[in-house]
Structure 1
Amino acid sequence: MAEEGSVHVSNKQVFLKDYITGYLEESDMCVKTDNTVHLKLPEGSNGVVVKNLYLSVDPYMRLLMQKFDTHGIFSHFALNSPVRGYGVARICESGDPNFKKGDLIWGTTGWEEYSVLTSTDDHFKIEHTDVPLSYYTGILGMPGIAAYYGFELCSAKKGETVFVSSACGGVGQLVGQFAKSAGCYVVGSAGSDEKVNLLKSKLGFDEAFNYKEESDLDAALKRYFPEGIDVYFDNVGGQMLDAVVLNMKYMGRIALCGMISQYNNIDSREGTHNLISAIFKAVRIEGVQVHRYYPLYPKFLEFILPLIREGKIAYVEDIVEGLENGPAALAGLLRGRNVGKHIIAVASE
């Protein structure tokens, strides 16, 4: 029998074999199972032991698999510890007075079946379970907060033009719908015809295009925005950002939320050559740092939960079953193989 404050389990885990350069391959990670794990909180700890239910597959994780300065926002993955990311979990044991055994939470956890979280800073108790728990890896979690407050930075007005890259991802699909609700004309880019059709048929974008079929991104943007772009929500960086700057309107706004195109080649990043246009056009460019908005999470829930319950917002998930499929899921995400928010279902609710 386990002593108080501890859990004896069999624990499947995903490890990074070594720090990498270039594209992430499934073989860069390995899955191990320890059948005799004793999970125990350190003496006096205010942490928790959790059973992970859903894990979020996010592009930023690639940055933590190499020696790259994240300016203290994230720390690199340790080679002898499980990969980390956002997830939904149920508490098995708690040393934190704010959480009790059986509570559901979301926040950073390990890519493993069970985790010991020595700190619960930036973890949130899940109070609303009348919506899918998996939503707390996406629309009700970090991506939702990034989309909502990142789009707020852009101060979009009715009638303005909005462009969203990686528009079918966990963040982009929400930004497009927020922009439509604000009365904007919205165009998204994605990496397949399937995603383009989804953006227009289910997610409400006015137009969308497959950037992989465009030999000239500048010309493509001029086709969809003949008078220019008021707001650009950037999830990819690189050549797309460079083309967008040329097509911004005077006093346009750009929110930098991600740069997926650059995560696999940090040592040889593409330069942005057209930034001088941002000076001439007085374009405002601001980074979206999601942690800044965590204190506003209750306000965000007040806004988004009614929309979900009333069916006024759509959210597309791409769920894979089993932690053993995690390495393939993350490697595939970075090649654009997911359709919607990519999630790993680890255990039943």
Structure 2
Amino acid sequence: MNEEATASGWDAIDQAMSKLYGDQEPKHYGTLISYMLGGPDPLDGLSAYKAEQPLPHWHIVTYGFSELYDKETDDAEHSGYGFELTFRLAREDTEEEPPAWALNLLQNMARYVFKSGNIFRSGDYLDANGPICEGADTQLTALAFIEDPELPEADTPNGRVKFLQMVGITGSELEAMQTWNTLGLLRACEQLMPRYITDLERDSFLQTPAVAEAVQRGIEQDGSNTGFLYVDQLDWEPAKKRLFGKTPAVLTLGAKQAGIVGKMLAGRILKGKSLNLSGPDILVVLEPGKAAGLEEGEDEVCIRLDEASATELSRKLQPKEGVLSLSSFKGLNVQIVKTYIKDQDGHVVSTIG
């Protein structure tokens, strides 16, 4: 039996899109050499449909995160990774092809998933550390993920498949997601961003009073929904004994993430929730406690913060190089080091701290 005849997973995606676009023939971009055979692109294909409502945009869907052909995994409930990505991008009336950068971005998302094994879920976010369209004059420097508002989960012969929509967001919106939650922020922006269409030319929605007020209200009521944060500049130096006492232990953070960690502390520790900071070589668990203190393991440190130390640390953590001492936690200093933002070629393009 040939591959086309057994492409039940592929057919399920086509059927889901045909419910929205009928007989429209999409712009399809296939892969010449399979990723399994050494090709550069993990996805077997991408299709882009012209949507007119609520405004002209491309509606792009991936083929390859799920099992497109025969069932290969032991997970009978889900097909492959259990999702496909979609991306809605504002379209000019004269455009006949979706921009290449958008297709490349989706392939890059697949490279990340295929290499790391980490999957995307509704409510996730990802910092791109630069414009999502390289070289573009845009404020959109991060991505968020939410279930596509028009594509319900599909049952296929290979298992269930969700359609997760990728949404371009600004740095300030990313920070709001980290200090509150992703889905809350996206829904607060829905009237300004119908169907979560990405528009490279837009400003931050946090400049809209109603959105800013919703975020502030959500932070105060709910705290932060982010319990885990990867910090690439994270280090720990235990306390050292000296002749007349000992030096404090030192927690090192990069300036880029110091400020957001400070804001997240207020939304986690002061709400009775822990915050996990994961670095290349160490896991630092910040958790609420009745008294400030710490416990050290080989690859993990647990820092307990009472209300006074959590409040002081939250206030003092800023994206500025320096060493912070805490009056409410004598055994701990925090060192903030500069963060160097680099482009894809490794050149420093900006410095924080």
- TM-score, with normalisation over the residues of structure 2? 0.25
- Select the structure with the greater relative contact order (CA < 8 A; seq sep ≥ 6): 1
Q: TM-score, normalised by structure 1?
A: 0.25
> Larger C-alpha radius of gyration, 1 or 2?
2
